[in-house]
Structures are given as structure tokens and as C-alpha cells.
């Protein structure tokens, strides 16, 4: 019986997160802490604007290694992220991540990571003809390795516009 209540509690929590994000409409959303680090962590490897050192620092931070030589804040941005999974063809998983005029398409496990992390950040999903979509625009995450080293929950903040 406890498992049933736990599942119901999780479903209600996810529904409330979905409702809050969907209700935000024109208002930019903000996440911080571990969710922001995760969002920046899955987008950073795809970015054509981050340096190799910044990508390596992000990979190390996202892999729970805060003892990194990189000291400057890292800004991870994306103009648009659109992810799709199939609910009829359950093998479909893809995301298009747009950085300026460059669009990067990822499939499979990488797309699944982005999709799941968007959901964690409260991005609402929308269904259409056998597909489930999640999208956001104007992603901007600031990751401060010096603050993260303090292990006090600070050092990672993201803003974005849910949808479109």
C-alpha cells in the first residue's frame, strides 16, 4: 500500500511541477542548484561556443568532481531546444539544440538525457500524433566552479523560456 501512495505522491508532484511551468507562459523560468547543473551539464557537450577547457570543466563538475583547475564562471547557452519521444514508435528519441545559426541533432541516449533533464527542470510536455514534445528557448546557465567547490548548494543557475 505504501508503494501505491508513493507513486500517487510522485504523480501529483510531477503534475504540480508541470502545471507551474505551463502556467508561467510568458514569464521566464529559473532553476538553480543540482537541476541547473544537470541542465547545463547535458547541453555543454553540444555547444559550439564553449572552449575545450570549459567543456572539460563542465564534464568534471557534472561527474561529481568539484576539485577542478578551472576557476572562471562558465556560461552555457542555447537559443532553442526541442525534444521528441515516440509513444507509438517507442524507439524515437531526438532533440534539436540550436545555438545561433547552428543546430545540433542528437538521438538515442543523449536525446533521452536532454529530454529527462528538461522534465526535471519543469519543462511541460505536449503530445501530438504519436509523439511527446518538450521545448524551451533562451537557455542561459551560469556555472561558478568556485561556488560549487563550497558544497553549499550554490554555483549553478539557469533561466529559460518554456515552450516554443
| From 2-6, 112-116, 117-121, the region with the lowest mean pLDDT | 2-6
Question: pLDDT value at position 129?
Answer: 82
**Structural domain boundaries of the chain?**
2-162
Question: pLDDT value at position 128?
Answer: 78
Percent of the chain with pLDDT over 90: 74
C-alpha–C-alpha distance, residues 140 and 137, integer Å: 9
Transcribe 96-121 into DSSP letters: EEEETTEEEEEEHHHHHHHHHHHHHT
What are the strands, taking DSSP E only, across the chain? 29-32, 74-86, 93-99, 102-107, 125-128, 131-143, 156-162
Amino acid at each position: 500500500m505504501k508503494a501505491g501512495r508513493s507513486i500517487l505522491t510522485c504523480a501529483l508532484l510531477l503534475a504540480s511541477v508541470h502545471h507551474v511551468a505551463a502556467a508561467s507562459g510568458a514569464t521566464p523560468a529559473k532553476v538553480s542548484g543540482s537541476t541547473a547543473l544537470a541542465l547545463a551539464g547535458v547541453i555543454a557537450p553540444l555547444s559550439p561556443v564553449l572552449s575545450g577547457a570549459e567543456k572539460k570543466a563542465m564534464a568534471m563538475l557534472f561527474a561529481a568532481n568539484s576539485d577542478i583547475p578551472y576557476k572562471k564562471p562558465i556560461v552555457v547557452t542555447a537559443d532553442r531546444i526541442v525534444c521528441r519521444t515516440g509513444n507509438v514508435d517507442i524507439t524515437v528519441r531526438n532533440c534539436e539544440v540550436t545555438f545561433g545559426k547552428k543546430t545540433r541533432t542528437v538521438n538515442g541516449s543523449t536525446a533521452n538525457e536532454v529530454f529527462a533533464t528538461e522534465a526535471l527542470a519543469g519543462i511541460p510536455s505536449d503530445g501530438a500524433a504519436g509523439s511527446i514534445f518538450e521545448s524551451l528557448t533562451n537557455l542561459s546557465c551560469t556555472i561558478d566552479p568556485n561556488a560549487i567547490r563550497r558544497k553549499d548548494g550554490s554555483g549553478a543557475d539557469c533561466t529559460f523560456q518554456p515552450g516554443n
